Amino acid sequence: MEGWREAARWAGSYEQWHAEQERAALAAAEFERRERLRDVPVALDGRAIMALLGLPPGPLVGAAMRHLQDLRLEHGPLSPEEASTRLRAWAAGEHRRS
């Protein structure tokens, strides 16, 4: 409740303050999700990902890298072969969503 009292100067109501808090939390979570995890190594680098998936440099390569990092965090290190297999499956699923 203390945060609400401090914010009462600019927020017209508790609902506005709470909505802003939720928006900020969602924005932070999205940033964290999109931010590349610099300290999490993966089996394939950007060039290998581009060659494997036939992608030009761009945000999809970063998304693929983040996917491999997520896999490493969940399952431990992957061999290049396992990373390639999982990345192809991920890419096929991404194309179906688009």
Number of domains in the chain: 2
Q: Specify whether 55 is located in the same domain as 30.
A: no
Q: Are residues 6 and 47 in the same domain?
A: no
Task: Record the pTM.
Answer: 0.61
| 17 in the same domain as 48 | no
Residues 15 and 48 in one domain: no
35-39, 56-60, 61-65, 76-80: segment of lowest average pLDDT: 35-39
Closest to 55 measured CA to CA, from 88, 25, 17: 88
Residues 25 and 44 in one domain: no
Residue 25 has a CB neighbour count (10 Å cut-off) of: 10
pLDDT > 70 fraction of the chain, expressed in percent and rounded: 73
Query: In terms of domains, do 45 and 78 share one?
Result: yes
Question: Do 1 and 46 belong to one domain?
Answer: no
pLDDT band at 19 (very low <50, low <70, confident <90, very high): confident
pLDDT at 2: 60
Strongest mean pLDDT among 3-17, 36-50, 63-77, 83-97: 63-77
Quick one: 23 and 55 in the same domain? no
